[in-house]
């Protein structure tokens, strides 16, 4: 019995349950708008959840701040994919150097080894997506949105331990 338990424990240590996946990770999602990163025009209230089944975030308008407001968006995060859709309203995102989404995952390591827009499942012309340590930035500045707009990102997730 003890040998089996020790072997089971060794197996868990050798193969972390969250290796190469976003599943089970703590993530904070927010909207930011800035021309100068040190002086943002808008930083929306962030929301934090643990990645699991279904839609993680369903953001709605928060009220105007400096003439800007959050565009309603649904965000579903899978083990190696993030999908955004716009169930309410039609319009165009405010133009700035950066106007978009920041997803900050609780980790100290470089979580994303590769990020790519899935052109087959994306209707928006997103060209600027990048990662910094455990954060993913998606710039939608100047793009149109509405019920037909969709963005799908495929991710190669590093073998980072949970923080």
Q: What is the pLDDT of residue 60?
A: 81
Is pLDDT above 70 for 9? no
Q: Compute the distance between CA of residue 156 and CA of residue 21 in angstroms, rounded to an integer.
A: 8
Q: What is the pLDDT of residue 67?
A: 85
Could you state, in order of their start, the residue ranges of all structural domains in the chain? 19-157
What CA dihedral angle connects 122, 62, 133 and 40, to 10 degrees? 110
Q: Compute the distance between CA of residue 33 and CA of residue 93 in angstroms, rounded to an integer.
A: 10
Q: What is the pLDDT of residue 163?
A: 59
Beta bridge partners of 74: 58, 85
For residues 85 and 150, the answer to whether their CB atoms sit within 8 Å is yes
Q: How confident is the model at residue 80 (pLDDT cuts 50, 70, 90)?
A: very high
For residues 74 and 101, the answer to whether their CB atoms sit within 8 Å is no
Is pLDDT above 70 for 13? no
Question: In the predicted model, what is the mean pLDDT of residues 136-156?
Answer: 97
Structure confidence by residue, pLDDT tens digits, 16-66: 444 489 999 999 999 999 999 999 999 998 999 999 998 999 888 887 877
Q: Which letter does DSSP use for residue 106 in this model?
A: S
């Amino acid at each position: 019995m003890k040998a089996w338990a020790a072997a089971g424990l060794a197996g868990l240590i050798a193969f972390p349950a969250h290796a190469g996946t976003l599943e089970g990770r703590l993530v904070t999602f927010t909207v930011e708008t800035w021309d100068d990163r040190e002086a943002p025009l808008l930083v929306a209230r962030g929301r934090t959840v643990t990645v699991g089944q279904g839609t993680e975030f369903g953001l709605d308008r928060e009220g105007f701040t400096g003439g800007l407001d959050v565009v309603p968006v649904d965000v579903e995060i899978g083990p190696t994919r993030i999908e955004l859709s716009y169930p309410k309203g039609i319009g165009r995102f405010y133009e700035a150097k950066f106007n978009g989404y920041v997803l900050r995952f609780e980790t100290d390591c470089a979580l994303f080894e590769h990020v790519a827009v899935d052109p087959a499942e994306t209707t928006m012309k997103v060209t600027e997506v990048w990662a910094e340590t455990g954060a993913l930035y998606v710039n939608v500045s100047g793009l149109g949105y509405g019920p037909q707009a969709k963005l799908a990102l495929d991710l190669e997730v590093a073998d980072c331990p949970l923080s």
